[in-house]
């Protein structure tokens, strides 16, 4: 049987990039605890719309923890307090009745606020476009085991490929570093045989683009790993650094 709770929401409202922005307070009354965080925002927005007010803008798509579109900061934590859970998969049963919740956009110079909780994460797209792909023709799907891959590498590549590019790592990092994201992308391609041909060029270009976008450096705070909804390990950063230094030495 589901219960209901009442919440007080302090939500960041910002008209556009040039607006200074401010917190506004909203009441979310009698919310079903089986609802997700985004469904609760839907209920608040429905009420705002009926009152003729501007609904709260927030990003979402799959609502299944797959696409990486949702990514608000809840009480100071990207995606909220539940480990390895995206905001769309965070349910209200994990909050207390009469709780006050502060909701903000991901904060980073490289992620300018578009509106309210929506930020522009196209910096990630440009990093991927700079080299996060395999350009050799791989043809149709080959017979399994045609290309031998060490089991350990296959597992590590799959773990790194779990990154959904939500940007929580950047918002959690005291330096607004994107190294967990780039480390995951570099790792998952480099660990597989098809990705090795362009490995050096790829890591050089992706790191250069990351720096150009204004992301900070890693200082081993591990905040990115703690905030990542997919549990991407900081060991991907170490792998990227190793690849990068090797690539620079042979440049
Ligand atoms: S909406 Fe797709 S991961 Fe949350």
The strand pair at 99-104 and 4-13 is best described as: parallel
Give the sign of the dihedral formed by CA 96, CA 100, CA 104, CA 107.
Answer: negative
Exposed e or buried b for every residue in 184-198, given b needs 16+ CB within 10 A?
Answer: bbbbbbbbbeebeeb
Structure tokens at 229: 């909804």
Residues 216 and 126 in one domain: yes
Distance 68 CA to ligand 1 centre (A): 5
Nearest-atom number in ligand 1 for the CA of 164 is 3
Ligand 1 touching residue 36 (CB < 6 A):
no
- Whether 113 maps to a domain, the answer reads no
Distance 36 CA to ligand 1 centre (A): 11
- Alpha-carbon distances of 108 from 130, 173, 207, rounded to whole Å: 21, 9, 18
Residues 93 and 184 in one domain: no
pLDDT of 141 strictly over 90: no
The 10s digit of each residue's pLDDT in 117-135 is 999 999 999 999 999 999 9
Tell me, what's the pLDDT at 144? 79
Tell me, what's the pLDDT at 2? 67
- Whether 112 maps to a domain, the answer reads no
Tell me, what's the pLDDT at 251? 84
H or E, element range at 200? helix 199-212
Q: What is the C-alpha R_g of the chain?
A: 20
Average pLDDT, the chain: 96
Ligand 1 touching residue 69 (CB < 6 A):
yes
Nearest-atom number in ligand 1 for the CA of 166 is 3
Helix, strand, coil percentages (3-state) for the chain, rounded to 5, are 40, 15, 45
Tell me, what's the pLDDT at 108? 95
- Whether 49 maps to a domain, the answer reads yes
Provide the whole-model pTM: 0.95
**74, 82, 88, 106, best to mutate for ligand 1 pocket (most atoms within 8 Å of CB):** 88
Ligand 1 touching residue 47 (CB < 6 A):
no
H or E, element range at 40? helix 37-50
- The pLDDT of 33-38, averaged and rounded, is 97
Residues 57 and 21 in one domain: yes
Residue numbers of the domain that contains 172: 121-249
- The pLDDT of 106-114, averaged and rounded, is 96
Residues 128 and 197 in one domain: yes
- The pLDDT of 233-249, averaged and rounded, is 97
Closest residue by CA, ligand 1 atom 3: 65
Q: Residue 1 — very low, low, confident or very high, per pLDDT cuts 50/70/90?
A: low
- Alpha-carbon distances of 118 from 112, 204, 230, rounded to whole Å: 9, 30, 21
Tell me, what's the pLDDT at 65? 97
CATH code assigned at 142: 1.10.1060.10
Tell me, what's the pLDDT at 71? 84
Residues 76 and 143 in one domain: no
In contact, 207 and 183? CB cutoff 8 Å: no
């Amino acid at each position: 049987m589901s219960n209901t709770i009442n919440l007080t929401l302090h939500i960041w409202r910002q008209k556009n990039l040039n607006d200074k922005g401010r917190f506004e307070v909203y009441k979310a009354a009698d919310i079903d605890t089986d609802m997700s965080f985004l469904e609760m925002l839907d209920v608040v927005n429905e009420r705002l719309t009926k009152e003729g007010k501007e609904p709260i803008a927030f990003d979402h798509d799959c609502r299944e923890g797959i696409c990486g579109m949702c990514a608000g900061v809840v009480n100071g934590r990207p995606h909220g307090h539940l480990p390895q859970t995206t905001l769309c998969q965070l349910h209200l049963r994990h909050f207390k009745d009469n709780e006050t919740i502060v909701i903000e956009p991901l904060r980073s110079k490289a992620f300018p606020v578009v509106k309210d909780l929506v930020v522009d994460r196209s910096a990630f797209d440009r990093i991927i476009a700079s080299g996060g792909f395999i350009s050799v023709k791989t043809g149709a799907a080959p017979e399994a085991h045609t290309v031998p891959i060490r089991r350990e590498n296959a597992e590590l590549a799959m773990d790194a490929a779990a990154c959904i590019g939500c940007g929580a790592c950047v918002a959690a990092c005291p330096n607004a570093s994107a190294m967990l994201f780039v480390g995951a992308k570099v790792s998952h391609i480099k660990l597989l045989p098809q990705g090795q041909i362009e490995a050096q060029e790829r890591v050089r270009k992706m790191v250069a683009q990351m720096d150009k976008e204004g992301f900070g450096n890693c200082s081993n705070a591990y905040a990115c790993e703690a905030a990542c909804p997919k549990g991407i390990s900081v060991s991907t950063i170490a792998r990227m650094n190793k690849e990068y230094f090797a690539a620079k030495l042979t440049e």
